[in-house]
Amino acid sequence: MELNEVLNKLPGHLMDLVIDQPYNEYTAQDHAVWRYVMRQNVRILSRLAHGSYLEGLKKTGISIDVIPHMYGMNRILKEIGWAAVAVDGFIPPQAFMEFQAYNVLVIAADIRPIDQIAYTPAPDIIHEAAGHAPIIADPDYAHYLRHFGEIGAKAFSSKNDYEQYEAIRHLSILKADPYTPAVEIEAALQQLSHLESKMGAPSEMSLIRNLHWWTVEYGLIGNLNDFKIYGAGLLSSIGESISCMKATVKKLPYTLDAVNYNFDITTQQPQLFVTPDFNHLNEVLDEFAEKMAFKKGGRMAIDMATASGNTATVELSSGLQITGTFQQSLVQGNDVIYWQTKGPTQLCFQNKQLEGHGKGNHPNGLGSPLGLLANGTTLELLDDDELSQMGIVAGKTAELNYQSGISLKGTVEYIHRSGKKVLLIGWSNCSVKKGETSLFKPSAGRFVLSVGVAVVSAYPGPADAAAFNYSFKPPAERTHKIQHTDKSRKLHSLYQDMRDVRTNIKNDGVADTIARELETNFQDEWLLYLELLEWFEANNGPEITKTRIHEHLLSLQSAKPELFTLIEDGLALIYNPQLIPNN
């Protein structure tokens, strides 16, 4: 992969999800699907999309005729401070958000099969490159997208969210493979439905994903009576970009209430939200962020860290950051009075691991009391003289008593500060109790007192990802490498012949050969017939051949209603090529 200034800033745990774009694996039919969708999109969206869409296509280096190569896109995207990477289908939501925070557009490398040309439930390069990329050329929208990534990366997921993500990914993989047996898709749908029935209270991530869906994916901009499309899901869907404009799709003003509207990726949406401008999107997002654990802190924050069941970071009032897997804490009312982790734990300050306090130093978890001392003292604010007056001196035995009723007694080994704040006090031969309940015994080894009055923030992932050796494991189930039949491969070779004719690699006579081959062996084909008709119409082909192809397409419209609009739209461009701006 060719790096640029933006990609060089990506942390290693995100790079683990990046793949090489399998450009040479795209078939000629894949390129034809891209060309058809893009030509239709430009025709339709020139009047329906936000004004920056068509200009954005040019700025981001996206071709209408062929699937874009990410190397070429990145050379242009870096001029607007962004980059693109290829990934394998759906990636974990937190990773997706974090990429956005680094100004990186995540592009699913696969392209939808021809039978999902109008809409696909799986992420694909049409949705990502043709939907997301052009709009980020607008600086106000790009700011929102980056800001959303920064906030979204702080959102906690639940254990159920992880199961749902895997089920959605599995279903999308099956649906993207045109040869998947229907029984397998039905089983995957039932499994997803079962998981969704027991999701419980929505997590931060599930709620913020609703905001993402109704803006980044399916957003409208303007007012309720006069609006344009800017959401990538609409920009990349031929059918829905038109149907969404109808009165049957309810239009609502975009407010924080959108967080309460769930979505279904397998069908068209019953309502959409209209924002007056891109700046309003940030206002709603910031309103939501004020209610999140990373902003509110306290008991709610550490409870979310615990409920996630995954690596999380809790920040204390002293600025100390604890990264690990949190267990049930002790609380009094809304105050956390003792926290506990299990397994490898890291201590950091300002997102940098403290020397001697990596997960290798604390492989079995840590715990510490929080709160004011019994006399009302804030331990983290005491200077060395004040600590000495309390007996907190290296090499001496001392005792601390908290207002919560927790007491700590042992020998002080060290005091670690950052500026004026006390972050850590190390102890040996230490015991920690809450009444008669023992929280830490001398036999457990050295005790590290993490100093702080309260939890002020909590968010998923580590404070210092590199030092923690953090990674997003690449999904165990990969998207399918499509195993085409011999007949399909023959059809793809005809598509390639057509591309070669259009680019003058092969002579005009090849088009006649393609037509005869289609009429003999591929009666159900429609897209290649459209490409042939387009070629003959533009190059004064024989009227008898054009008539025969046109009549065949009309018969397909009658025999297969699902193809009616696709063929109708294709014919519209053939006979009115001026409908594509700058064609």
Tokens of residue 352, six digits: 């940098």
The crossing angle, in degrees rounded to 10, of helices 527-538 and 543-559 is: 150
Is 442 in the same domain as 303? yes
The residue with greater pLDDT, 390 or 72, is 390
Give the per-residue pLDDT at 144.
Answer: 96
> Do the beta carbons of residue 280 and residue 214 sit within 8 Å?
no
Is 210 in the same domain as 130? yes
User: Quick one: average pLDDT of 280-297?
Assistant: 97
**3-state DSSP assignment of residue 86:** strand
CA distance 520 to 507: 21
Tokens of residue 374, six digits: 């019994």
Is 106 in the same domain as 245? yes
| Position 191 in a domain | no
Is 446 in the same domain as 500? no
The residue with greater pLDDT, 56 or 458, is 458
- End residue of a domain, out of 438, 468, 498: 468
For the cut 70, the answer to whether the pLDDT of residue 579 exceeds it is no
| Position 195 in a domain | no
Is 431 in the same domain as 336? yes
**Eight-state DSSP code of residue 258:** G
| Position 16 in a domain | no
Tokens of residue 273, six digits: 């939200």
Give the per-residue pLDDT at 74.
Answer: 86
How do residues 206-221 score in pLDDT, each as one tens digit? 999 999 999 999 999 9
Give the per-residue pLDDT at 1.
Answer: 62
How many independent structural domains does the chain possess? 3
- End residue of a domain, out of 285, 313, 341: 285
**Lookup result for tokens 């011999």:** 486
pLDDT category, 580, cuts 50, 70, 90?
low
User: Quick one: average pLDDT of 488-492?
Assistant: 95
User: In which domain, by residue range, is 273 found?
Assistant: 24-157+203-285
For the cut 70, the answer to whether the pLDDT of residue 564 exceeds it is yes
> Do the beta carbons of residue 86 and residue 19 sit within 8 Å?
yes
Is 237 in the same domain as 134? yes
Is 539 in the same domain as 462? no
Give the per-residue pLDDT at 582.
Answer: 55
Is 31 in the same domain as 115? yes
**Lookup result for tokens 């974990």:** 92
How do residues 439-453 score in pLDDT, each as one tens digit? 999 999 999 999 999
DSSP 433-499: EETTEEEE-GGG--EEEE--SSEEEEEES-SSHHHHT---PPPSSPPP-----HHHHHHHHHHHHHH
For the cut 70, the answer to whether the pLDDT of residue 334 exceeds it is yes
Q: What is the pTM of this model?
A: 0.88
Is 383 in the same domain as 354? yes
- End residue of a domain, out of 226, 255, 285: 285
Give the per-residue pLDDT at 201.
Answer: 84
User: Quick one: average pLDDT of 346-350?
Assistant: 98
Give the per-residue pLDDT at 2.
Answer: 65
How do residues 143-196 score in pLDDT, each as one tens digit? 999 999 999 999 999 888 888 888 888 988 888 888 889 999 999 989 988 888
Give the per-residue pLDDT at 112.
Answer: 87
| Position 520 in a domain | yes
pLDDT category, 226, cuts 50, 70, 90?
very high
For the cut 90, the answer to whether the pLDDT of residue 70 exceeds it is no
Is 221 in the same domain as 369? no
Among candidate residues 10, 52, 23, the one with its CA nearest the CA of residue 60: 52
| Position 272 in a domain | yes
Report which listed range, 117-126, 342-351, 495-504, is most confident. Answer: 342-351
pLDDT, the chain, mean:
91
| Position 479 in a domain | no
Is 565 in the same domain as 439? no
User: Quick one: average pLDDT of 229-239?
Assistant: 86
Give the per-residue pLDDT at 123.
Answer: 81
Is 342 in the same domain as 434? yes
How do residues 251-277 score in pLDDT, each as one tens digit? 999 999 999 998 877 677 899 999 999
Give the per-residue pLDDT at 483.
Answer: 81
| Position 478 in a domain | no
Give the per-residue pLDDT at 229.
Answer: 94
pLDDT category, 583, cuts 50, 70, 90?
very low
For the cut 70, the answer to whether the pLDDT of residue 320 exceeds it is yes
Tokens of residue 159, six digits: 């254990």
| Position 136 in a domain | yes
The residue with greater pLDDT, 88 or 259, is 259
CA distance 452 to 343: 22
The residue with greater pLDDT, 134 or 531, is 531
The enclosing domain of 215 has a CATH number of 1.10.800.10
